[in-house]
């Protein structure tokens, strides 16, 4: 759930800063920026606390996470009120975040003991059966989580709770646009009786660099450009990274699709959170036979939308003027090159960073709205002659996060899905893969590397694997040490070759 830009205010962040609402420009609160020179000390504290946290074991950690989930549920109204002020979201958009995190925690507390348990591995060859092979998953001491502004709860905690479940300490770096929600979430961790294995670094670029330079693993969510810089810096210490980056998600509407369902999904998928979602519907390819019907249904739905912060609105403000300017540029570029705005096409009148929900038709790949991540409330729709053309155009992108395919024939849609170059495909739905905690959530190409969660791997990624090879018997121990006589060497080579070829010979038959 990526934000297109990550560090936007001038350096350095010193002293305190004022956070204002993008919807009203009113003051939300004050934040104290972290001195990057203090980060090594903070990390030292986290490393010390992590040892006891890891030693507790999965069952004990699960109880702490369960108490935190209860705190989140009990303080949901307070959390959502604050994030609405910081982001200008509508209440319905804000309402999605806390339940998602509670769902992720619920999944982890049920599965973490089994996922993190030592795992026995079989011997690859018969003569190695005398060895017992066990893989242990040992937590990395400190995980740095660098999160964007578009989902101040979900993007910050989605990875944090997995790292905590694995037995790591976590150093959080929230967006400098939404620091206050992060402070509230840290207070909840402390209030729920948890140990000091979570800390926050507030600031901009220098804060990011300090987190990267002092952590043992980095989970970054943000733009592709910034993700590359984070990876480059992490490489200085060979620190492993997981990156969830930008997207330009396509939606394909086949000629047998339920057009009403597809239209509803496209509008919600494009306008949810004012389009500021990495897996939002950013471009639609519709087969010619149903194109006019689809466009009419989309325009009808968009014209019913209510825009504003807080209660009673479908979606809210954009995070700031710089993000709104990207949307304005993409729409202006499309209109200049022959596209038509069937609805919207301009910023909303009045105060705040609001942009009217916009449907663009007569678009093509010469336009930025079809090739660059917009991250705004726009829905460009392109007519295509065939399914093959839709697939080709969908794949004609440097991004590969997720996609959607709509068809009455699920098998047909699945056949299309596996031809799309992306990390996840939703059939007859949009964004729903984010709810599937057993499946990986990651991108291809410049949309990232690794996955945020997904089954046992969502916990194990925060661990270092250690293989322990122990003897099952003392028979034969040391029998091949320096036994290098010509006769013994010939016997050993003959035996090793025969044993190694058993499997390949069987497979080749």
Catalytic residue annotation? 244, 278
Pick from 148, 137, 174, 132: nearest CA to 58: 137
- Under 8 Å CB-to-CB from 33, ≥6 apart: which residues? 13, 14, 15, 16, 17, 202, 203, 207
Tallying the residues shown for the chain, one arrives at: 509
First to last CA, the chain: 48
User: Helices then strands (H, E): number in the chain?
Assistant: 17, 20
CB 399 within 8 A of CB 443: yes
Query: What is the Cα–Cα distance from 467 to 406, expressed in whole angstroms?
Result: 45
Closest CA to 153 of 93, 112, 219, 218: 93
Closest to 3 measured CA to CA, from 315, 221, 258: 221
CA proximity to 1, closest of 84, 127, 100, 99: 100
CA-nearest of 210, 226, 479, 266 to 380 is: 266
Sign of the alpha-carbon dihedral angle for 175, 181, 183, 188: negative
Distance of CA 372 to the CA centre of its chain: 19
Between the CA of residue 303 and those of 296, 300, 306, 356, what are the distances in Å?
A: 11, 5, 8, 10
Q: Token pair of 437, please?
A: 């905690």
Residue 90 carries which DSSP code? B
Whole-angstrom distance, CA of residue 107 vs CA of residue 99: 12
Distance CA(454)–CA(432), nearest Å, equals 14
Q: Which residue has the tokens 């300090």?
A: 210
Distances (CA, A) of 247 to 26, 262, 366, 383, 394: 31, 20, 18, 21, 12
For residue 130, what is the DSSP state? G
Show the beta-strand stretches assigned E in 201-318. 217-221, 241-244, 250-253, 283-287
């Amino acid at each position: 759930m990526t934000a297109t830009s990550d560090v936007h205010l001038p350096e350095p962040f010193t002293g305190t800063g004022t956070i204002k609402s993008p919807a009203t420009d009113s003051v939300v609160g004050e934040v104290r920026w972290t001195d990057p020179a203090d980060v090594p000390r903070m990390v030292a504290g986290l490393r010390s606390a992590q040892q006891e946290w890891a030693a507790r074991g999965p069952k004990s950690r699960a109880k702490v996470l369960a108490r935190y989930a209860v705190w989140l549920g009990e303080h949901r109204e307070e959390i959502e009120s604050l994030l609405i002020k910081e982001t200008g979201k509508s209440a319905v958009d804000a309402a999605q975040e806390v339940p998602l995190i509670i769902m992720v925690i619920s999944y982890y507390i049920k599965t973490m003991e089994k996922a993190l348990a030592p795992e026995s591995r079989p011997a690859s060859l018969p003569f190695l059966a005398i060895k017992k092979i066990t893989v242990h998953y040992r937590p990395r001491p400190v995980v740095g989580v660098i999160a964007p502004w578009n989902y101040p709860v979900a993007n910050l905690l989605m990875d944090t709770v997995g790292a905590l479940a694995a037995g790591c300490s976590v150093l959080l770096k929230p967006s400098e646009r939404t620091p206050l929600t992060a402070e509230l979430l840290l207070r909840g961790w402390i209030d729920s009786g948890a140990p000091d294995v979570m800390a926050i670094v507030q600031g901009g670029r220098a804060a990011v660099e300090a987190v990267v330079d002092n952590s043992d693993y980095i989970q970054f969510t943000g733009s592709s450009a910034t993700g590359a810089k984070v990876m480059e810096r992490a490489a200085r210490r060979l620190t492993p990274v997981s990156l969830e980056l930008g997207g330009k998600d396509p939606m394909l509407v086949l000629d047998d699709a339920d057009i009403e369902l597809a239209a509803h999904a496209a509008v919600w998928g494009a306008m949810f959170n004012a389009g500021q979602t990495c897996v939002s519907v950013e471009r639609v390819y519709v087969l010619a036979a149903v194109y006019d019907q689809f466009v009419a249904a989309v325009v009808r739905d968009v014209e019913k939308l209510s825009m504003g912060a807080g209660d009673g609105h479908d979606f809210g403000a954009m995070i700031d003027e710089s993000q709104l300017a990207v949307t304005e540029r993409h729409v202006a570029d499309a209109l200049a090159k022959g596209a038509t705005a069937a609805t919207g096409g301009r910023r909303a009148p009045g105060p705040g960073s609001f942009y009217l929900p916009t449907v663009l038709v007569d678009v093509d790949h010469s336009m930025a709205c079809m090739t660059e991540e917009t991250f705004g409330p726009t829905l460009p729709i392109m007519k295509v002659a065939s399914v093959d053309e839709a697939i080709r155009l969908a794949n004609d992108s440097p991004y590969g996060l997720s996609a959607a395919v709509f068809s009455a024939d699920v098998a047909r849609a699945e056949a299309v899905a596996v031809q799309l170059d992306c990390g996840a495909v939703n059939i007859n739905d949009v964004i729903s893969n984010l709810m599937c905690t057993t499946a990986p959530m990651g991108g291809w190409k410049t949309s990232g590397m690794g996955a945020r969660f997904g089954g046992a791997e969502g916990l194990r990624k925060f661990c270092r694997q250690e293989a322990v090879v122990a003897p099952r018997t003392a028979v034969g121990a040391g029998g091949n040490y320096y036994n290098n006589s010509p006769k013994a060497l010939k016997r050993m080579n003959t035996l090793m070759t025969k044993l190694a070829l058993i499997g390949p010979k069987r497979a080749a038959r």
